[in-house]
Amino acid sequence: MRILLVEDDRMIGVDLSEALRTDGHSVDWVTDGLAAELALQATRFDLALLDLGLPRKAGREVLRALRHRDDATPVIVITARDALEDRVEGLDLGADDYLVKPFELAELKARMRAVARRHAGRARPRLSNGTLTVDPATREVWVEGREVTLSAKEYAVLYALLERPGAILSRRQIEERVYGWNEEVESNAVDVLIHYLRRKLGAGAIKNVRGAGWMVPKSGA
Q: Which of 69-78, 110-119, 166-175, 179-188 has the lowest mean pLDDT?
A: 179-188
Total tally of structural domains belonging to the chain:
2
User: Based on the number of CB atoms within 10 Å of its own CB, is 124 exposed (0-12), middle (13-18) or buried (19 or more)?
Assistant: exposed
Q: How many CB atoms lie within 10 A of CB 79?
A: 21
Same domain, 150 and 83: no
Residue with the bigger pLDDT between 164 and 6: it is 6
* Per-residue confidence (pLDDT) for residue 41, from 0 to 100: 93
From 120, 137, 160, give the residue that closes a domain: 120
Residue with the bigger pLDDT between 211 and 63: it is 63
- What is residue 110's three-state secondary structure? helix
Same domain, 95 and 134: no
Same domain, 146 and 205: yes
Q: What is the pTM of this model?
A: 0.79
Give 112-148 pLDDT, tens digit per residue. Answer: 999 988 887 777 888 999 899 999 888 899 999 899 9
Report the CATH number that the domain containing residue 158 is assigned in CATH.
Answer: 1.10.10.10
Which domain range does residue 109 map to?
2-120
Same domain, 101 and 173: no
